Amino acid sequence: MEEKIRIMIVDDSKTSRKLLRGILERGGYEVVCEAVDGEDAWGKYREIRPDLVTMDITMPKMDGVEALSMIRKEDPTARVVMISASGQREKMTMAIRRGASDFITKPFDEKKVLATVGAVLEE
């Protein structure tokens, strides 16, 4: 059997994690783990080394932009797709500057999510 691409979902919202997991699994990906804030994401990234991370921006303890920076410092090849709500243009610009691969906006559009993830994995 072909090995699936491993994805880590980072989001403080349980509902968002569940929605995203459903979309990614229907798209044929394996969701290897979920993290609930930036600190959790940082620890789990180092341990699990997923092929791609979806990273919510607004989270307690450590936000998505900071977690992205930590991950990219440790692993410059890390693929991190930011998840943003509307009105976060400034944070998005900062994230792209810090090495984010692309971004997905909430509410999730299944086709767009899979197209974005697919394109980032092909880079």
Which residue, chain included where needed, has tokens 């394109």? 119
The partner residues of 55 in beta bridges, in order of sequence, read 10, 82
Kindly state the smallest distance separating residue 112's Cβ from Mg ion, in Å. Answer: 19
Exposure b/e, 98-116, CB count within 10 A at least 16 = b: bbbbbbbbbeeeeeebbeb
Kindly state the smallest distance separating residue 36's Cβ from Mg ion, in Å. Answer: 10
Kindly state the smallest distance separating residue 51's Cβ from Mg ion, in Å. Answer: 23
Nearer to Mg ion, 5 or 13 (CB): 13
Nearer to Mg ion, 59 or 100 (CB): 59
Judged by the rule CB under 5 A, the positions of this chain that interact with Mg ion are 12, 56, 58-59
Nearer to Mg ion, 77 or 89 (CB): 89
Nearest to 51 by CA among 110, 112, 121: 121
